[in-house]
Amino acid sequence: MSGFVLLSRELLDNDLWRMNSDLVRLFLYLLLKANYGKKEYTYSRGSTKVTVRKGEFLRSLRKIGEDCAYAGNNKLVSWSTSRVAGMLKTLEMDGRIRILSTNSSALGTHISIVNYEQYQDFATYRKQGLRTDAEQTKHKSKAVKASNTISEHADALWEIWLEELSPKPPHPRLTDKRKIVLTALHSEQLTKNGSDPLVLFRSVLKVVKGSSHHMGTRAYQLPESLFRNEERRESWTHRALAKAKARPRTPTVSRNWSVDQ
């Protein structure tokens, strides 16, 4: 197989890199195998038809396990179908892929890489400052200035994050990257719903605390993971708002009541 995919060096700082190595291997496999062109491919078996578009991949769980087999301790390690299904679910819950249809389709499991087209566009990396060494040197001063103008709202949100998710020391630092995603969350979501942004943010974190998946791994709780793109910021905010609306109100009885005789 020829060709290439774009892969940011920021992967080394991403929570994906700190996952189980098999998860990293699986994600890179999906990235390499996904349909990279504009041409769509339609597969059919009986009455079942599946169209694979750009950034998507169709393969059975068994074949994925075989494709990703590797040698370890002088033996071939091959994932079982249940192991592959479990890892795909983890990647889906982390917002990296979407399962469009399952292996029950007889054609395989239909998988979509989230934001594939964006990540495979050179322009994306130029906009984010992910350039060659020469370009990084040229734009370093601009990046420093930009980091110094990040909204002060990030400080207030970070204090709430520490109270909810890191009440005991040692506390993580409020890095520039965390300031950026917190500021984006504040401007994109928290100020648009008629609620107090700080109260709403605390509600968002309570929803996070209710997720066993995210609370099971420290890296998943950090802002750069929880709110790393607009889709995730919107999703968490909507979940917090939905939970608030669903919360039953305490029944009250008016003091001004009477019984007709």
Separation CA 236–CA 238 (nearest Å): 6
Q: Which pLDDT score is estimated for 103?
A: 64
Residues 98 and 171 reside in one and the same domain: no
54: domain CATH number is: 1.10.10.10
Residues 179 and 97 reside in one and the same domain: no
Residues 18-54: tens digit of each pLDDT: 888 999 999 999 999 999 988 999 998 888 889 999 9
- Does the pLDDT at position 84 exceed 80? yes
Range of the domain at 75: 9-119
Residues 148 and 229 reside in one and the same domain: yes
107 within domain boundaries? yes
59 within domain boundaries? yes
- Does the pLDDT at position 255 exceed 70? no
Residues 100-151: tens digit of each pLDDT: 988 666 789 999 999 898 888 887 776 655 555 555 555 555 544 544 455 6
First to last CA, the chain: 89
**Residues of the chain above pLDDT 90, percent:** 45
Spatial neighbors of 221 by CB under 8 A, at least 6 apart, are 165, 208, 214, 215
- Does the pLDDT at position 2 exceed 80? no
- Does the pLDDT at position 79 exceed 90? yes
DSSP string, 189-200: IITSSSS-HHHH
Residue with tokens 């050179």: 122
Q: How many independent structural domains does the chain possess?
A: 2
4 within domain boundaries? no
Residues 50 and 14 reside in one and the same domain: yes
Q: Which strands form 97-101's sheet, in the order they lie side by side?
A: 56-59, 109-113, 97-101
What amino acid is encoded at 186 in this protein?
A: H
Q: What is the pTM assigned to this prediction?
A: 0.55
Say what the alpha-carbon torsion angle 100, 112, 85, 27 is, to the nearest 10 degrees: -170
Mean local confidence (pLDDT), 77-101 = 91
Residues 175 and 76 reside in one and the same domain: no
Residues 178-215: tens digit of each pLDDT: 999 999 999 999 988 778 999 999 999 999 999 988 89
- Does the pLDDT at position 247 exceed 70? no
- Does the pLDDT at position 68 exceed 60? yes
Separation CA 56–CA 53 (nearest Å): 6
126 within domain boundaries? no
Separation CA 112–CA 84 (nearest Å): 15
84 within domain boundaries? yes
Q: Which of 212, 193, 213, 217 is nearest to 203 (CA)?
A: 193
Spatial neighbors of 78 by CB under 8 A, at least 6 apart, are 65, 66, 68, 69
Backbone angles phi, psi at 88, to 5 degrees: -60, -40
Residues 185 and 242 reside in one and the same domain: yes
Quickly state the pLDDT bin for 176 (edges 50, 70, 90).
confident
2 within domain boundaries? no
